[in-house]
Each structure stands twice: as C-alpha cells, then as structure tokens.
C-alpha cells in the first residue's frame, strides 16, 4: 500500500484551502468581460494605492499583491483597475464557507479567502483525503463558480505551502513521511514564519532552501536565528508543526437552498419557496436544539452572481414563520438592490445558541 493509502495512528489529515485570486475572480463573475483582460483590484494607480490582488492575466506581467498600483500600471498600461468591494466579497466568502462546512465541519478560517480544514472528519486515509479535497473544489465551483486550491498533509505548515503549489484549481497531497522531501527544494522564503529579515539572515549563513534550514546544526542555527524562533522554523522546515485547528471563527449556520429548473422572477413563487426553506431550517434547528439571531437570504442570479442579505434579530429564534417572514423581506430587499430572475434561493440562520428561544406563552 502506498503511503497516501494509509493513515498512521494519531496522524492528522489536514488541508489548507485558498480561493484562487479571490477578489479578482469575484469581479470577473460580476462582469464577465473582465475575464480576458489583465485585472487589478486595488487602489488608485495614479495615486499611492496598492494592489490587493490581480487576476492571472495580470500576474503574467509580474503584478502581485502589495505592489504599488502605480508600478502595476507601469508594468501593464492596458490593465483594468477596480476598487475593492469588500461587502460583496464577504457575501461570496460566506457562501463558500457554508458550502465547505457541509462536507467538512471542522474549519479554521484564517482569512476571507483561506482557511484550514480537518479532513479526518470525512476521510480515513490520504487517498480518500484527495477525493474529499476534489469534492470540496467541485462543490465550491458549483455553488459560486469560483475555484480554489488545496494542500493536504499532516501539518498546517505543509498544507499551507502545498495549497500554493498547483494554482489555480489544483490539489497537492503530501503523504505521511514525505514532508521533509516535499519541502526541501523550495526557497526558504516560502516557509511560513520566515520574513524578509529572517530570510536575509539565513541567506547570509548560506541557507537558500527549506531543506538547508532543516539540516542546520544547532550552533549554526543559533548564529543565524538567535532565540526560540530558530528552533521553531527548523522544526517547520522538517515538516513538524503540532498546531491544531483553532475553531473560534464565525458561528456555524444552519441553512437550506434550492436551485430552480428555470430562472424565476415571479415574486409569489419565490416567497413560497423561501417559506418552504424556512420550514426546513426550523426543523434542523429544533432537531439540534439550536436557535439563532441572524437570518440570511441568499440569491443567485441567472449569470451565477450571488447576493446575500442578513438581519440580526433582538432574540434568537427557531420558528419557521418568523424565519420565513424575515427571509422574504430580505429577498425583497436584495431584489430591490439588484432586480432580476433568480436561479437559486437559500435561507440560513447563524449566531446560534445551544437552546431554543421560549415564546411568550412558554411553549
């Protein structure tokens, strides 16, 4: 059996998920004409703005995040520059992570477009983990038309580096026992925790690759990187990283959604569908002894663009009629902001509490 086909006792199966050029990808979904153009999301190229992200057409010109927008314009005068729309990106991000949570419930979100997953909840070995990672990619693409890359391994540091190896849309699996060999040829700057100053000190010591750092003897390590940071980084260079997932992120939501056979604009039909979904959400909340304060309506249009509208209530609820009424008003609000026929509607409740909110009659 290959190393990937087994899971050693007590060995984690983790993944790092990274949405590909996320801000730019959302802008391309909102305006498909941008897909064939070099696109830069960021500040004013005629001022002191910086690049937030760039699509892959722009990256061919050497444009990257944190570069000055003026330099990006110099490198590609034909690039299209758009200002970031963070509220819109959060809407897409919420849909992505709700989708991922349906497959893998243990998630540590480290940013709007990236996070760590505990694949052991869905995979018994590393062969199965690759299949789960591919299933996550398919689900994200189906619900949002966005692509993501994943690195799968036994530790956060390996997964983080792995997710960047086959962008866009790739999966990199580093089987148990192969971590050091996978990391060894890579530039030392790619190791999480190695910043510009640490890189300069290591280069002065003749350390150019992660493998060279892994092999560094104690005296040479202390000379290059005094203090505990040197030992930490050398351990990471060897693929050793005991950090577990930190699960203190956004509250888990309970949701339901449905895709129509044809795009629908009839408001009465949409309201009926939202109320039906609210009943499903209510049943799921009550079966889990949960209630929530924030109700969300999800709208996906015929061009696959997504809008969500949310309202936080004074008290947690689990009643279908309350959830349905709020969700219908949110749907109406979304359609006022952007009219159009819908391909899908969804209803969700978040801000969950492990109890049911009692009604006034005590039921």
Cβ–Cβ under 8 Å, residues 162 and 153? yes
Integer Cα distance of 360 and 212 in angstroms: 68
Catalytic residue flag (residue 71): no
Cβ–Cβ under 8 Å, residues 173 and 152? yes
| Residue 193, phi-psi category: left (phi > 0), alpha (psi -120 to 50), beta (remainder) | left
Integer Cα distance of 104 and 135 in angstroms: 11
Helical ranges in the chain per DSSP H: 22-30, 56-59, 69-75, 86-101, 126-144, 156-162, 179-183, 196-204, 210-214, 218-224, 228-237, 267-287, 320-337
Of 27, 28, 108, 114, which one is the catalytic site residue?
Answer: 114
Roughly what angle, to the nearest 10 degrees, separates helices 22-30 and 86-101?
100
Cβ–Cβ under 8 Å, residues 258 and 346? yes
Cβ–Cβ under 8 Å, residues 353 and 292? yes
In angstroms, what is the C-alpha Rg of the chain?
23
- As annotated, the active-site residues are 114
């Amino acid at each position: 059996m290959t190393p990937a086909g087994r899971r050693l006792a007590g060995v984690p199966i983790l993944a790092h998920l990274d949405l590909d050029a996320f801000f730019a990808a959302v802008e391309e979904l909102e305006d498909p004409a941008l897909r064939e153009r070099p696109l830069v999301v960021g500040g004013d190229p005629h001022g002191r703005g910086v690049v937030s992200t760039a699509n892959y057409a722009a990256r061919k010109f050497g444009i990257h995040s944190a570069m000055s927008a003026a330099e990006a314009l110099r490198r590609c005068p034909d690039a299209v520059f758009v200002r970031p729309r963070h509220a819109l990106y959060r809407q897409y991000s919420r849909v992505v992570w709700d989708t991922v949570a349906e497959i893998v419930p243990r998630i540590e979100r480290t940013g709007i477009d990236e996070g760590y997953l505990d694949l052991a909840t869905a995979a018994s070995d590393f062969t199965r983990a690759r299949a789960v990672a591919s299933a996550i990619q398919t689900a994200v693409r189906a619900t949002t038309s966005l692509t993501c890359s994943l690195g799968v391994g036994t530790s956060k540091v390996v997964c983080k580096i792995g997710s960047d190896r086959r962008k866009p849309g790739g999966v990199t699996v580093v089987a148990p026992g192969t971590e050091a060999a996978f990391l060894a040829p890579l530039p030392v700057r790619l190791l999480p925790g190695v910043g510009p100053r640490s890189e300069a000190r290591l280069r002065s010591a003749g350390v150019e690759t992660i493998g060279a750092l892994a092999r560094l003897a104690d005296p040479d390590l202390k000379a290059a990187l005094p203090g505990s940071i040197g030992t930490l980084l050398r351990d990471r260079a060897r693929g050793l990283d005991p950090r577990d997932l930190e699960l203190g992120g956004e509250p888990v939501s309970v949701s339901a959604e449905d895709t129509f056979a044809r795009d629908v604009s009839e408001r009465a039909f949409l309201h009926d569908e939202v109320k039906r979904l609210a009943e499903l959400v209510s049943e799921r909340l009550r079966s889990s002894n949960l209630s929530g304060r924030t109700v969300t309506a999800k709208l996906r249009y015929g061009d696959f663009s997504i809008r969500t509208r949310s309202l936080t209530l004074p008290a947690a609820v689990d009643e279908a009629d309350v959830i349905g009424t709020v969700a219908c008003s949110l749907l109406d609000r979304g359609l006022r902001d952007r009219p159009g026929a819908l391909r899908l509607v969804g209803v969700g409740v978040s801000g969950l509490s492990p109890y049911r909110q009692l009604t006034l009659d005590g039921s």
